[in-house]
Amino acid sequence: MTAGIPHDRSPVTHVAGLPARPARFADWPDWAPSAVVDAIRAAGVERPWAHQEEAASLAWSGAHVVISTGTASGKSLAYQLPVLSSLAADPRACALYLSPTKALGADQLRAVSSVGVPDVRAAGYDGDTPMDERDWVRAHARWLFTNPDMLHRGILSNHSRWARFFRKLTYVVIDECHSYRGVFGSHVALLLRRLRRVAAHYGSSPVFVLASATAADPGEFALRLSGVDCAAVTRDHSPRGARTVVLWEPPLMENMSGENGAPVRRSAGAEASRILADLVVEGARSLAFVRSRRGAELTALTARRILSEVDDSLPPLVAAYRAGFLPEERRALERDLLAGRLLGVATTNALELGVDIAGLDAVVLAGYPGTLASFWQQSGRAGRSGEEALVVFIARDDPLDTYLVHHPAALLDRPVETAVLDPANPYVLGPQLVCAAAELPLTGGELDMFGGQAARDVLEYLVADKVLRRRSSGWYWTSRDRPQHEVGIRGSDAEQIAVVEADSSRLLGTVDPGSACATVHPGAVYLHQGSSYVVDELDLAEGLAMVHAEDPEWNTSARELVDIAVLNTVQRRDFGGVSVFLGEVAVTSQVVAYLRRLPSGEILDQIPLDLPAQELRTRAVWYTIDESLLKESRLTVDVAESVAGERVGGEGNGDPETGNARRTPGGAGLVPARIPGALHAAEHAAIGLLPLFATCDRWDIGGVSTALHGDTGEATVFVHDGHPGGAGFADRGFAALVPWLAATREAIVSCECPTGCPSCVQSPKCGNGNEPLDKAGAVVVLDIVLGALRHQHEIERDHGGS
């Protein structure tokens, strides 16, 4: 793959070997009825692996359990065994299966049905279930396959019609539970408490079985999500082939420049096509994960074009996995790939959940998939027992990806992050408590399960606003309407903006009102399922964006003015000239223009817009720096040289775990004119790196930096949650401040560009056109902050403090 590339220009930044692991089997447990065991054996599983037996036996004994093991480690069997056994043992017993996506639920339903245990009456119940079938499901189904949305809107809201089901609800299976994070995760956590409450009302107390990708501290996460203590099964005994992991940084392209003249790297997608083509030539069965649907199509197309130049018989061996595949088409693709009739498939992470593809020769990841859990889930598709497999991780032009390819330990040796969720967020708790009260009046004794004091505070508001009524026996919803229909659980609670194709009146999708001005303003290019549209009109009052199909050669990005006000400080820590805060803020933003940009990064023009300002009340983490620290310096000119020098001098100048950042030689300092650009660059890179510490996407968070902030009176960098009330990301940043900022600094100095590019300090969603940005200054800012934090830690340590 690197043939012909001079050694000093090699894109390979690291190579690691992951050893093979043999299988460890257990016997079928005595408690499992032979009818169930025979059916599972007939379906192809001769004996359970040890972790499957352990989790299944815990669940059978009545313990709540979370099984957190690798890709294709057979988590399904771990819950199928106790559930099928209980359904076989008691003809009236029922079970509930929840999955984050409809497609995964459908796959699991099919898998359970194919096991062929009699009288299970497994049935799906989601938005696609026809009305006439719904009555049958309510009356007869014993194992219900649904999703949180349907549980919220269609089942709990109507629980008396499901009395038969709730009376004997024995198991609740929560599959891929690590995907319940952020605002959605917080809603699901409270939804599961509502479920337990309704089940208890009908006299049942189901056992929860959670399945998760490998995660740090899955027991703690399972407790936060489900509200019940869960035993954690984490030792994976499924067999695994040896793998070689290669980290790859695409080279900078010569004679190409992007925003503000920044250098541009070859795209991760283009590299993925080339590598996929090479693998196909070698006869390796390979999967390439690409971030966007359009990217997946392009990667397959380019790989086919490259292959057509090698041999005409090769291009048909490559395909793209498109969204909207039917289950049968998906099965056919799995079979073709496993049998070698297809050798290369390019896909979005749509193929990450609910596919039974394992044992491939190679997996290519074009860009970090956002979480370590996804990284291992995707790379886990490679590796057959007894044979070597290859994983290639290609960095995109982005600070987090840059950091990871230069710091392999952060990718390969770190425990998978725990998903962040915050069920105490009042913006989530409020509507959830209203739904709970509408299902069954809320009593004082139940408030602990909804967060105790946080719930009491929110209830006070709800009573004052006359949403709920307080009586001596509890809190009541007195309207005849069902509030569940007004409460969205997948993000913002407000009315979504509908994106409609004008010609056909077809609804293409919905956009959060908070981000509508930035994403569907007039003239914006809007992508939907691989097709491109241009927005003609945005009507915020009507909640409508009208679009027409058009695929211009440019994409668009909004320019916005953003202001931030501190509403309330929750925590504050002072470190001699540097202070760090966690609190509530109001972010006001106004989209004022947009840029049209070619794929090469070249900007065509800027077009003004007239749109109203929007306010977001959320949580933020921020730091302030005393003016004297920024200015007290001899060093104002040679900062850029010191950054370039560090890069040449090699990596490892700072340790993200300890925050042992090296001070810039000669001390820190900036002339006042450089301060805004330095803070802005430090803010961008910090936003890029926070997803490494808080399970979020950089699009879930935002930032503001200013040389003099009205509320703090000092130079300040804010990083805030992008959702009303916050989702726990800023809190996680505050808790992990030193490793987070140290990793941010490292990402900047790891990048070889001279003055800032998308791999370090430029942001793809900067509302300010990435102006001003001062890469070297950002390192100075971070050195000042880290130096102050470290100094304080040393004092505390020397004085025996914490």
Ligand X SMILES: Nc1ncnc2c1ncn2[C@@H]1O[C@H](COP(=O)(O)OP(=O)(O)OP(=O)(O)O)[C@@H](O)[C@H]1O
Q: Which part of the chain contacts ligand X (CB under 6 A), choosing from 66-74, 137-145, 158-166, 429-437?
A: 66-74
Residues numbered 71-130 forming contacts with ligand X, rule: CB under 6 A: 71-77
At how many degrees (to 10) do helices 182-201 and 218-226 cross? 60
Establish whether the linkage from the previous residue to 772 is cis, with ω within 30° of 0: yes
Cα 413 from Cα 657, distance rounded (Å): 12
What is the CA angle 339-344-345, rounded to 5?
Answer: 100
Q: How far apart are CB 76 and ligand X at their closest, in Å? A: 3
Give the x-and-dash track for 381-420 against ligand X (CB under 6 A). ----------------------------------------
Cα distance between residue 80 and residue 109, in whole Å: 11
Q: How far is the CB of 75 from ligand X (least distance, A)?
A: 4
Nearer to ligand X, 202 or 325 (CB): 325
- Give 371 or 425: the residue with its C-beta nearer to ligand X: 371
Instruction: Classify residue 497 by burial, with Cβ atoms within 10 Å: 0-12, 13-18, 19+.
Output: buried
Helices (H), ranges, 481-539: 513-519
Q: Which residues in 210-269 contact ligand X (CB under 6 A)?
A: none
Min CB(585)–ligand X separation in Å: 38
Residues 219, 224: Cα–Cα separation, whole Å: 9
Q: Give least dist CB 356 to ligand X, A.
A: 5
Looking at the Cβ atoms of 28 and 740, the one nearer to ligand X is 28
Nearer to ligand X, 60 or 581 (CB): 60
- Residue 248 CB, nearest approach to ligand X (Å): 24
Closest separation in Å from C-beta 489 to ligand X: 23
CB-based closest residue to ligand X: 74
**CB of 109 or CB of 616, closer to ligand X:** 109
Question: What minimum distance in Å lies between the beta carbon of 379 and ligand X?
Answer: 12
Distance CA 690, CA 686 (A): 6
Give a three-class secondary structure readout of 694-713: CCCCHHHEEEEEECCCCCCC
Give the integer Cα–Cα distance in Å for 211 and 268: 32
Closer residue to ligand X (CB): 374 or 706: 374
Q: Give buried/exposed letters for 1-40 (b at 16+ CB in 10 A, else e).
A: eeeeeeeeeebebbeeebebbeeeebebbeebeeebbebb
Residue with tokens 């401040």: 737
With respect to ligand X, which residue has the nearer C-beta, 99 or 519? 99
Q: How far is the CB of 64 from ligand X (least distance, A)?
A: 19
Looking at the Cβ atoms of 239 and 263, the one nearer to ligand X is: 239
Cβ proximity to ligand X, 373 vs 670, nearer residue: 373
Nearer to ligand X, 222 or 780 (CB): 222
- Give the nearest distance from C-beta 141 to ligand X in angstroms: 22
- DSSP assignment of 215-226 equals -SSHHHHHHHHH
HSE of 760, CA atoms in CB hemisphere, 13 A: 28
Give the closest residue to 631 by CA, choosing from 705, 685, 708.
Answer: 708
Q: Least CB distance from residue 457 to ligand X, whole Å?
A: 38
Q: Which is nearer to ligand X, 74 or 739 (CB)?
A: 74
Q: Which of residues 507-566 bind ligand X (CB under 6 A)?
A: none
Among 90, 329, 356, 536, binds ligand X (CB under 6 A): 356
Q: Count of residues binding ligand X (CB under 6 A)?
A: 14
- The angle formed by the CA atoms of residues 13, 14 and 16, to the nearest 5 degrees, is 165
In the range 23-62, which residues lie near ligand X by CB under 6 A? 44-45, 48-49, 52
Stretch that binds ligand X, among 69-77, 117-125, 343-351, 581-589 (CB under 6 A): 69-77
Nearest Cα neighbor of 514 from 417, 617, 422, 592 is 617
Return d(Cα 188, Cα 291) in angstroms, integer. Answer: 26
Return all residues near 531 (Cβ < 8 A) that are at least 6 apart: 549, 551
Query: In whole angstroms, how close is the CB of 452 to ligand X at the nearest point?
Result: 34
Nearer to ligand X, 212 or 618 (CB): 212
| Mask for 315-354, x = binds ligand X (CB under 6 A) | ----------------------------------------
Site for ligand X in 360-379 (CB under 6 A): 377
- Measured in Å, how far apart are the chain's first and last C-alpha atoms? 50
Question: Under 8 Å CB-to-CB from 753, ≥6 apart: which residues?
Answer: 252, 262, 263, 759, 760, 775
Query: Which one of 67-75, 502-510, 589-597, 636-644 is the stretch in contact with ligand X (CB under 6 A)?
Result: 67-75
Tell the smallest beta-carbon distance from residue 332 to ligand X (Å): 16
Separation CA 384–CA 190 (nearest Å)? 40
Q: Which residue, 111 or 540, has its beta carbon nearer to ligand X?
A: 111
**Strands, sheet with 169-174, edge to edge from the N-terminal-most edge strand:** 122-124, 143-146, 94-98, 169-174, 207-212, 65-68, 231-233
Region from 68-76, 429-437, 557-565, 587-595 binding ligand X, contact rule CB under 6 A: 68-76
Closest distance of CB 49 from ligand X, Å: 5
> Which residues of this protein are in contact with ligand X, per CB under 6 A?
44-45, 48-49, 52, 71-77, 356, 377
